[in-house]
Amino acid sequence: MKVIIAEKPSVARDIAKVLDIKGSKKGYIEGRGCAVTWAFGHLVTLLEPGEYDPALKRWSLESLPFVPEEFKLKLISNRGVAEQFQVIKKLCQQADEIVCATDAGREGELIFRYILALCECEEKPIRRLWLNSLTPDAILTAFKDLKDGHDYDPLYAAARCRSESDWIVGLNSTRYYTVRHGRIGGGGDRVLWTIGRVQTPVLAMIVARDDTILQFRAQAFWELTARYREVLFKYKGKRFENPEKAQVLLERITDKPFEITSIVAKKKKEQAPQLFDLTTLQREINKLHGISAADTLIATQSLYEAKLVTYPRTDSRYLSEDMKERVPQILAQLKSRLPEQITAMDLTKLPFSKRIINDKKVTDHHAIIPTGMVPRRFGANEQLVYDAIVMQFIAAFYPPCLKNVTTVDGITETVRFQAKGTQVVDSGWTVLFVKKQKATDGQSLPAFAKGESGSHEPSLREGKTSPPKHFTENSLLGAMEAAGKFVEDDSLREALKERGIGTPATRAAIIETLLRRNYIRREKKQLRCTDMGRCLIALIKDPLLKSPEMTGEWEEKLKQIERNELDPDDFMAGIETYVRDMIRDSRSGQLDRSRWGKCPLCGEEVIKGNKAYGCSGWKEGCPYVLQPDCQGTMLTTKQVQILLQQQILPHPIRVDDELRMLILSTQGMPMTLRCPSADRQKKKTKADRD
């Protein structure tokens, strides 16, 4: 008997229907010598420390670091899991061959292999069903091309290393910082400081951005312009930091003739956008509609299971060579939905450039594209996501947008000015995105002639420098993809993708985890750190635990394991060494008793005054003041040094019970107040260390 294990019941039903297997049983479908059964996503997880040794149920510094000699597995405790697992186990033990039909990626492989291990069926022959979509044709084709399951051993090794490294880093660092810094009051309650191999560097990025904005001091500047023939010309030199110098030039050119000295026109070609991978899809949907990355993934997964789009958890923006024949068929099927857009295309001569077809850029899965099946109904988010995927797919085969970009130079009284204008010659793919076209069009220019001159209107505009923008999900996903080096340029981001934080499939979950733990909050489209998030990052002294680049290197090594280029044992040995060093170094951190600390606003040293502590840069305008009386509690010298040296507060203390409790709890100081979120945090489960 052949046993097929799918990741979800709905996928199992789709497979059974295509294979004409109709015998419905409790927990599986059988027929034609096959049994199709299913998991509910993850059924199996790693044991808890207390299940290795009962003494480890008690959290203590002395027991750290803890790394099992051999990781062991157990069923998760969700309803119905044990019953379904017994069905799977019985079928696997009777099977002559087991087919892995879980999601075709790292986590899908882990789900299957963990089930196989707990069933004690690892020695059974295994095959791999690798699906890019769930259409009947795709399922039939994939079954005709089943792979040897052991071809995917490196993928499983990477998945196992991801699981075990998250367990090691998360468990040890969470226990260490909770025991060391989490005491609340005399009753023994604690704040649970949850730390993760991936989530903590992401939190550190958000905290750093928010603190940069908070510490930003706007600088005034002045811009000199001249309006000639209704066109705005800008002064070619640097903008002025001194208004007197700008005023001198303004007076010099007032009532003087303006002459055109140069006209340079260049043709510019804007290529059609590339196809979506998951991260670029999430970013686009968040930018256009404010939908979260998690909700975009849910909607795309729903479209995938409805057979409307291909596999969503992909990091590729390309198609493979074997898709060339299928693409015109998909576009022809979509014609009934978008007749005007597709009629304009010649489906017999599609431009399959290297920006679209590139086998070297396709690893596990190709880009997200529609399958061509006609949808019947949508939820609100599904409609927006589907329309975006379809339009991006069509646009990829449209001609480029052609523009003339004209640069005009002018002069008056030896003061040089310049204006730029854009004229669209052929809209190309931009006709599909009217809003984008309007946003990128510059000012239109009349026909200028070299040497012409006339009167103009000079003016001086005062402005102020702007701080960086708070992260949105769009920009944070970009920063995670590039390991903190956020760039807008597609080609540069592609080059940096190997060093990203997390994977396309996990980045949305990381953001949601930080939100759930109250380390960050949403403010409209913005993501901002909370006081708890800032406090946690201040407590963590190990820079590597907060480093996006280091986490990006770990992710790159996991990909090397997938490609069979790195020994998994070497990776895990490095993780274990890192955790041991992290805990050792964290224990050795000491306060500097000879100083108060640095000003959180400007970085200058803090000094003690008669009634409060303030920034030594007060003469330069820094307003930072730390009052030692915090809502009736007088801070001690040690407490002030903890606040300032650990940089927990980037602003003066507010009358805020929860924040006050968190700050003073960092060294186990006795408190009588209760923290509203502490009781919520105490109830966190093992998921808090992932």
Residues with a catalytic annotation lie at 311
C-beta separation of 76 from 44 below 8 A: yes
The partner residues of 24 in beta bridges, in order of sequence, read 29
* CA 305 to the chain's CA centroid: 23
HEC readout, 514-583: HHHCCCEEEECCEEEECHHHHHHHHHCCCHHHHCHHHHHHHHHHHHHHHCCCCCHHHHHHHHHHHHHHHH
- Which of 529, 477, 499, 501 has the alpha carbon at shortest distance from 198? 501
By CB neighbour count within 10 A (0-12 exposed, 13-18 middle, 19+ buried), where does 474 fall?
buried
How many CA atoms are closer than 13 Å to the CA of 542, on its beta-carbon side? 22
Residues counted in the chain: 690
Peptide bond into 467 cis (omega under 30): no
Residue 104 in contact with residue 132, Cβ under 8 Å?
yes
Q: By the 8 A CB rule, do 258 and 252 touch?
A: no
**CB under 8 Å to 610, separation ≥6 — which residues?**
none
Give the Cα separation of 384 and 391 in Å (integer).
Answer: 11
Task: DSSP for 629-652, please give it.
Answer: EETTEEPPHHHHHHHHHTT--SSP
Cα-based angle 146, 333, 274 (whole degrees, multiple of 5): 75
Helices (H), ranges, 49-187 = 49-52, 81-94, 106-118, 136-144, 153-181
The distance from CA 170 to its chain's CA centroid, rounded to whole angstroms, is 19
User: Side chain identity at 483, as an amino acid letter?
Assistant: A
Are 32 and 21 contacting, i.e. CB atoms less than 8 angstroms apart?
yes
Greatest alpha-carbon span in the chain: 96
Q: Strand pairing of 457-464 and 220-228?
A: antiparallel
- Exposed, middle or buried, 677 (CB in 10 Å: 0-12/13-18/19+)? middle
Buried b (16+ CB within 10 A) or exposed e, 69-81: eeeeeebeeeeeb
